[in-house]
Amino acid sequence: MHLIVLPAEDLTQTAAPIHHLRERIGRLTLLTGNDRAEQRRARRYADALGRFAESRGLTWRVDVETLEEGSREGVDRLAANHGGDASVAFLSVGAPWATLLLARAFGETTPFYTFDAFDNRLVTIRGGQSRFEEAERMDLAAYCGLLGYEILERKERTRVLAEASLLEALFKEQGPFQKVRRQLIHHGHASSTSHTHILETLEKLGIVKHGKLVEGMKNRLQGDLFEEYVYHICQRQGYDDIALGCRILFNPEENDPHRHVANEFDILFIDDNRIGTVECKYVHRLDGENFLYKYDAVIDYFGRTARALIVNITQRERKKEQRGPNFTLSMLRRSQLGNVRIYHDTLFNYAKFTAHLRAIDEEI
């Protein structure tokens, strides 16, 4: 198959159908407009697709052609160049004008694929008939590879799953745990004798020994334990793939390491070919507005169907009518207009968290 991909504003939405059709593709052509930025983006995507094909043993030939927006002459030129090729098929994601013109120029025998990224549904239109199918589900490695991103690191999850019952025991008693945790972080030992069961659990986790904080375990106590606990809850949801501490390089083709764009995600998952991420902040003070803007910009790399949940446990009691210092009411409202949702509380609540996790799917 010679798959010709029509210009798409959000290239991430073409990854799933290309992955689904990967074994049938022999040649892959990306159409792009005259805009220089758009052409650079198309060439970068073509390079990424070429590297993905090579890594998977696929013999794709990938190239880029220009198609001026709304240009009938451009469509006629494309038909003249490829109209005699019986293997030609088109993939259209958000380019209706080109789809209509090309359908007329190439005729009813040429297959056209469209893709609904929110439903993960691939539609094949040919000879006046439509066929619907679910796109094959990708894991994180395939998704990132198609877009030219490189997964630099993801934490081993075997230990986290093995310690799940210990994590649950800690966070079932968050008040006592927070008290012991603060003492260990600030003083290196816990003076309280009323919460020995918390210390016993922490000792089983290798964080405490004889009531004292084990050297090198401060970071795990400060934030890693909470990330691991939330990951344990998320992996129960049955996502297609999920990673803990996933660090991604978004421009591996850049030779200058000083210009690399990389980011670590506490929890990254993919389900129905849509990326989701959960950021865990077990801290009292957080510049919520600055953090929200930065995080909103980062997930733009994953396209319009990406969704994110920020979980911030402030560890201090506050009046019920207050939203706390980290996220104002206006910030909470603004985040829900985009793809980022915020769960901000003093104590982690399992039911509230899973409700927010479901909501990030429903609101987009």
CATH of residue 261:
3.40.1350.10
- Cα(213)–Cα(208) distance, rounded to whole angstroms? 5
Pair 164, 132 in one domain: no
Does 146 map to a domain? no
- Cα(212)–Cα(17) distance, rounded to whole angstroms? 54
Pair 107, 206 in one domain: no
Structural domain that includes position 71: 2-136
Pairing mode, strands 208-209 and 212-213:
antiparallel
* Domain total in the chain: 2
Pair 130, 169 in one domain: no
Tell me the Ramachandran region of residue 238: left when phi exceeds 0, alpha when psi lies from -120 to 50, beta otherwise: left
Do residues 25 and 3 touch, judged by C-beta distance below 8 A? yes
* Residue-by-residue pLDDT tens, the chain, 364 positions: 999 998 888 899 999 999 999 999 999 999 998 889 999 999 999 999 999 999 999 999 999 998 887 678 888 888 888 888 889 999 988 766 677 778 878 887 899 999 999 999 999 999 888 999 999 999 999 999 999 999 999 988 787 888 999 999 999 998 899 889 989 998 898 876 678 899 999 999 999 998 899 999 999 998 899 999 999 999 999 999 999 999 999 999 999 999 999 999 999 999 999 999 999 988 776 666 667 777 777 788 999 899 989 898 886 544 444 445 566 666 665 555 557 888 888 889 999 999 999 888 775 5
Pair 194, 305 in one domain: yes
Does 145 map to a domain? no
Pair 156, 132 in one domain: no
Pair 115, 182 in one domain: no
Whole-model pTM: value is 0.89
Does 143 map to a domain? no
Pair 346, 252 in one domain: yes
Q: What is the CATH number of the domain that holds 98?
A: 3.40.50.10770
Pair 75, 204 in one domain: no
Alpha-carbon torsion (47, 53, 59, 65), positive or negative: negative
Q: What angle do CA 35, 37, 41 make, to 5 degrees?
A: 115
